Structure 1
Amino acid sequence: MTFERDGKKIYGELYLPAGEGPFPAVIMAHGFGGHCAHNRPYAEVFAQNGIAAYIFDFIGGGNDIQSDGKATEMSVLTEAADMAVVLDGLAAMGEIDSRNIFLAGQSQGGFVASYLAGTQPDRVRGLVAIFPAYVLQDDARKRMEGRELPETEEIMGLLLGRIYAEDALSFDIYEVIKDYPGPVLLIHGTADQLVSIDYSRRAAEVFPSAELVEIEGAGHGFSGVDEERAIQLSLDFVKKSIQ
């Protein structure tokens, strides 16, 4: 099931529960350079428990995406625009309860979902941010310190355009998220070497209504029992937050 932004295709997969809707729904975003398959385990569990789920590839979001676009055109703000298009599309569907649409995301996807919740708070019932990459603005400041923004740069094997750093430096995510009053679940590993858990600890204090679950010994990217726990935590949070 695809959407479109500025003439570019957004590829996604809709998971609907059995029975008749309208269903509450979760829109889930992948991380930097990733793709929607990383979110399938979450989507499958949501759908098995009466909650619709939509997972998708950001435009220009990585090397293995099925959406249009190049990574040189991608930034956290273009990804937020993609997610907003998906939010519009799902809210207009008869099978979806538009009053109960949740946003979720892993890593950079958690950053993007947080940004969208903060900028469109009335449309987002709740937020799940899984090892969210709130570090990326500090990372951009360190990379660009004392030099001009480059036209291109390579990060983690992905060739990015000037817009990536430019947009990251254009606002403060903590100033945005303080405006989201809805329920928030943050899940972060204590051994995350890519995004220190301190960033989520700060976010838990900034969000008006947030809970942080720290997964002892987990790094950046969950697998095995850590992923199973994150999925169950996410499901329980969404179920209790439905209005």
Structure 2
Amino acid sequence: MTRRPLAPTVLLGLIGLLAGCSGEPEAPQASTATSSASTSVAASPSATPAPTPTRATSSPTPSPTPSPRTKPDPVSMQALMEKRYDGRDLTRGRLLADQGSYKRYAVTYRGDGEKITGIMNVPDGKGPFPVVVLNHGYIDPDTYWSGQGMPREQDVLARRGFVVLHVDYRNHAGSSNDPDVDLELRLPYVVDTINAVKAVKGATGSAWKVLDREHVGWFGRSMGGGVTLRALVAQPGLVDAAAVWASVSSLEADNWERWFADDPARRATNRRIEKTHGLPDESPGFWRAASARPYFDRITEPVLVQHGGADRTCPPRWARATVDALEDADVDVRSNVYHGADHTFEGRTFTTAMERTADFFDDHLR
């Protein structure tokens, strides 16, 4: 297909076939040889059939024992693809605020042996309302409070008639602690958001009649954009559409080099990463296998990518490379770049980007 550069206009792709599900072509089978010296016997009523030659018998050759399948590296996209997800027990807690057109609640759910907290904005009315699960960007877990990320996005979507579930991730707010998240390149956050969708889809009881459990989307920002892309790869078909804003790179080596390599506060983590996995220049295969981009051909949902043209946190070239790779994988991708806009999408940039995002979810979740 013809590759188009990242531009302010909307780029449309086609929903691709899952190339990763197609097998290798079968090798041609050897044909059975036929003897050219065979002799035919004339058929007649009095003909006596010739005796069948006796063949020497031998013990059957035992079938080879299949070699055990090698398990994928637990820190890899393949491991996420093969994982069984058990998101469940979505529970509504206390009312946090009444915003006039929607109410804000504390929520929890469980999955992967963890308890995850979050907030949920529920529009007033009977519903059912489609659900958007939000994956926030990096905030120091030591200072984070529940629902802190993406407050503007939470508000707009709820006022547009979407139930909004903002996931805190493990190690954040009241969620369970996991000391190995950075060692595992933050893949556990992907597990948390997949389990959030599973918990929504499996929610029962009168409190959850307001949820349209058949129409769910993902919306990720910055680090949460990377979480969203990896979740789409790991569980194609779980949601109906996804939006990513100002996303980190879809190659994990880029992210490590940008935020970890030269950070004195992460020296201990880097030593563990080097000892366990090898650094990107030593183990490039490991780092690609933990990245979303090599597996974009698994994505079945439409994706909206939006990025600031002057983003100094996540370089615009990362967004261009991600969109190009999505297009090459025949993913239905739309993209917008906002020239002069930085990472946070302020003022009119935010308003325009948010209107486009809400319209995108209207198109695919209603």
Range class of TM-score, shorter chain? 0.7 to 0.9
**In structure 2, distance between residues paired with 1:15 and 1:144:** 38
Contact 2:252 2:290 in 1 (8 A): no
Aligned to 2:348: 225
Which of these residues, 137, 140, 144, is aligned with residue 253 of structure 2?
137
* Alpha-carbon distance, 1:144 to partner: 6.2
Contact 1:60 1:72 in 2 (8 A): no
Contact 2:237 2:300 in 1 (8 A): no
Between 82-91 and 226-235, report the one with greater CA deviation.
226-235
* Alpha-carbon distance, 1:129 to partner: 0.3
Contact 1:150 1:162 in 2 (8 A): no
Q: Is the alpha carbon distance of 1:130 and 1:161 closer, same or farther for their aligned partners in structure 2, counting shifts above 3 Å?
A: farther
Question: Are 2:48 and 1:48 aligned?
Answer: no
Between 167-176 and 207-216, report the one with greater CA deviation.
167-176
**In structure 1, distance between residues paired with 2:292 and 2:359:** 26
Between 78-87 and 194-203, report the one with greater CA deviation.
194-203
Return the letter of the residue paired with 2:227: V
* Alpha-carbon distance, 1:222 to partner: 2.3
Which of these residues, 35, 53, 67, is aligned with residue 175 of structure 2?
67
Question: Are 2:144 and 1:21 aligned?
Answer: no
Question: Are 2:218 and 1:95 aligned?
Answer: no
Contact 1:72 1:162 in 2 (8 A): no
**In structure 2, distance between residues paired with 1:91 and 1:38:** 23
Aligned to 1:4: 110
Between 224-233 and 19-28, report the one with greater CA deviation.
224-233
* Alpha-carbon distance, 1:55 to partner: 0.6
Aligned to 2:298: 179
**In structure 1, distance between residues paired with 2:116 and 2:180:** 16
Among all aligned residue pairs of Structure 1 and Structure 2, give the percentage whose two residues are the same amino acid.
21
Between 207-216 and 193-202, report the one with greater CA deviation.
193-202
Q: Which runs of 5+ in 2 are unaligned?
A: 1-106, 204-208, 279-285
Question: Are 2:242 and 1:127 aligned?
Answer: yes
**In structure 2, distance between residues paired with 1:176 and 1:21:** 36
Aligned to 1:196: 315
Pick the structure with more strand per residue. Answer: 1
Q: Is the alpha carbon distance of 1:222 and 1:66 closer, same or farther for their aligned partners in structure 2, counting shifts above 3 Å?
A: farther
Q: 1:99-118, aligned counterparts within 5 Å?
A: 99-118=214-233
Contact 1:59 1:69 in 2 (8 A): yes
**In structure 1, distance between residues paired with 2:220 and 2:127:** 24
Q: Is the alpha carbon distance of 1:161 and 1:192 closer, same or farther for their aligned partners in structure 2, counting shifts above 3 Å?
A: farther
Q: Is the alpha carbon distance of 1:95 and 1:3 closer, same or farther for their aligned partners in structure 2, counting shifts above 3 Å?
A: same
Pick the structure with more helix per residue. Answer: 1
Return the letter of the residue paired with 1:108: M
SS state at 1:123 partner: coil
When normalised by structure 2's length, the TM-score is 0.57
Q: Which runs of 5+ in 1 are unaligned?
A: 154-159
Aligned residue pair count: 230
Larger radius of gyration: 2
